[in-house]
Structure 1
Amino acid sequence: MELRHLKYFLAVAESRNFTQAAARCYVAQSALSQQIARLEKDVGVPLFSRTSRSVRLTAAGELLEPMARRLLADVDNAQAALDALAGLRRGRLRLGLVQAMTVSFDMVEVLAEYRARHPGIDLHVTNAPSSAMAAAVISGALDIAVVGLGSRHVPPGLDHRALGSDPLVLLVPRDHLLADRTTISLADLPESHPLIQFSQGSGLRHQVEAAFTRAGATAGRHFEVGQIHDMVRLASRGVGVTVVPRSSVVGPGSLLGLEAADDLPHGARMLRLADREAVHHTCVVYDGTRLAPAAAAFLDVLGSYEQTSIGLSDR
């Protein structure tokens, strides 16, 4: 079994298509098919079930997939450790970043500082739902991730460090029947009013659904949007109502760059939630048992910004 065989195997497992997998691996399809056949011969069982219309993993393929990911991740980490002996002049950091961050510093500045300190490190940034990025850290597909999860919801096997928290707020259009309130319970929302929700599997989605449960309310009709920026704008235009972290609406680093709630577009209103547990958390997750040097260096840079923000808040 060779490492390139495992890379080809994962490419087919992810794309479920030999032609697409060959393109991703920059090899001819015939060559990739031959290498997959050789891998299946080495392991003694078929790894894919092939028909004229589909390619699926067999039971053996499903067993091999997570092992192959971790093995290739270990190889990458070993190379990164060797690079670290040369002062991190080479390497790669695969970083996951959640859209809504409840941190008191600018993550862009963190990335810029990291790049300045370690210009030889290739930085690959991914945006995805928090649960997916946490799972990617476990599998080795990501080295580290900043996710919208509280300490209680971090998957077992991952180390984590809390970065911040922020209250959730309700955004309603200016002509909404509850727009004149300053504080609201989610139980007061009519079930017939559309709710604009963030993507399934995200930390924010989990926190919003938990808030409705605590209020004894049903989220009602809703639709999903993949960008928090669009959720805010759609609610402002009267398409529906939405629940988002306050820091994503107003203040430093807000997605719309607003200084105060009165600046919301189209006269939309931002209402506080009576539920004090309705809070959006942000933390950084990683596997401390297999932390690559490039990822450890990122934690160091992140830590320096955390300390600076703590120092400023204490003044």
Structure 2
Amino acid sequence: MDLRHLKYFLAVAEARNFTQAAASCYVAQSALSQQIARLEKDVGTALFSRTSRAVRLTAAGELLEPLARRILADVDNAQAALDDLAGLRRGRLRLGLVQTLAGAIDMVEVMAEYHALHPGIDFHVVNGPSSEMAAAVLSGGLDVAVVGLASPQVPGGLDHLVLGRDPLVVIVPSDHDLADREVIDLAELPQSHQLIQFTEGTGLRRQVEAAFARAGVEPGRHFEVGQLHDMIRLAARGVGVTVVPRWAVRGVGLGVLPAGARVLHLADEAAVHHVSVVYDSKRLAPAAAAFLDIVGR
């Protein structure tokens, strides 16, 4: 099985379009189609269902996709291991980075130190929901990821190191019925409240929903936003209430609490936002191992 065939296969699987896949691989569409046909001949079955409107993976294609990603990731790791003999003078680090970093962790400084020590390593940084990035590490799509997951939430098969823990706080508008309180329980929020939630699938979203579950109440109506500072500003404007890590309102994240907002602490001591770095120690490339060394220090 030709590795090039697997790369073309994954390009089509991602784009669901032969023309776009060929463009991303810098080859003619006819050449890419021929290589896919050869791969299908090698495996003995069709990998794509083609119509005039869509390209879909067959059952065999769905089975091959994660295997192909792992095979190509292993090849990259093998090359990286050889690069390690040359002192990490070249290579690549694919890093997933969550938006809701704990305040004590300055990943910009970590990356800057890494680059100073290993300037030949190319950085490829992606942002996304924690669950998706952890899954990408497990499948070989990422080398390492900093995610908003506590230890029990890390997928099986991955190793992890907890980098930070930060209490969750509630942001309410200054005219809210609870605005004069210092500490509240989530069960005290009115049933009619609207909760400004972070993106679904993120570690913060899971931790907030877990806190509501411990309080024995439903989160309420949702207003979903993908940026922490927007969540806080919307709460200040009276759109609803929101729950965020404490660092986001203590100078590291937003910087200044917007006018009209009040910060309330939670009585639930388990309501904590965790940040962890996840990796697969069984398939750890040298470039990723060097990054973990800096993070650990």
TM-score by length of 2: 0.97
Which letter does structure 2 place at the counterpart of 1:205?
Answer: R
Q: Secondary structure at the match of 1:266?
A: coil
1:255 aligns with 2:253: yes
Matches within 5 A, 1:1-315: 1-251=1-251, 254-258=252-256, 264-304=257-297
Aligned twin of 1:311: none
Q: Secondary structure at the match of 1:136?
A: helix
Q: Which stretch has the larger CA shift, 68-77 or 23-32?
A: 23-32
Which letter does structure 1 place at the counterpart of 2:260?
Answer: G
TM superposition shift of 1:275:
0.9
Deviations along 1:107-133, whole A, 9 cap, x unmatched? Answer: 111111111111000001111111000
Aligned twin of 1:313: none
TM superposition shift of 1:193:
1.8
Q: Which stretch has the larger CA shift, 272-281 or 28-37?
A: 28-37
TM superposition shift of 1:103:
4.8
Deviations along 1:273-297, whole A, 9 cap, x unmatched? Answer: 1111111111110000110000000
Distance 2:21 2:191 in 1: 46
Which letter does structure 2 place at the counterpart of 1:126?
Answer: V
Which letter does structure 1 place at the counterpart of 2:184?
Answer: I
- Give yes or no for contact 2:105–2:163 (8 Å, CA) kept in 1: no
> How large is the Cα RMSD of the aligned pairs?
1.1
Deviations along 1:203-257, whole A, 9 cap, x unmatched? Answer: 1111101111111111111121112222122212222111011012214xx2212
Q: Which stretch has the larger CA shift, 26-35 or 120-129?
A: 26-35
Question: Can you give the 5+ residue segments of structure 2 that lack an aligned partner in the other structure?
Answer: none
Q: Secondary structure at the match of 1:283?
A: strand
Which letter does structure 2 place at the counterpart of 1:135?
Answer: A
Percentage identity across paired residues of the two chains = 76
- Give yes or no for contact 1:103–1:282 (8 Å, CA) kept in 2: no
Inter-CA distance 162–103: structure 2 relative to 1 (3 Å threshold): farther
TM superposition shift of 1:26:
1.3
- Give yes or no for contact 1:103–1:163 (8 Å, CA) kept in 2: no
- Give yes or no for contact 2:199–2:205 (8 Å, CA) kept in 1: yes
Which letter does structure 2 place at the counterpart of 1:279?
Answer: V
- Give yes or no for contact 2:194–2:223 (8 Å, CA) kept in 1: yes
Deviations along 1:18-67, whole A, 9 cap, x unmatched? Answer: 12211211112222111111111111100011111111111100110011
Distance 2:230 2:136 in 1: 26
Distance 1:268 1:51 in 2: 54
Aligned twin of 1:312: none
Q: Secondary structure at the match of 1:272?
A: strand
Alignment size in residue pairs: 297
Distance 1:80 1:200 in 2: 34
State the 4+ residue runs in structure 1 displaced beyond 4 angstroms. none
TM superposition shift of 1:142:
0.2
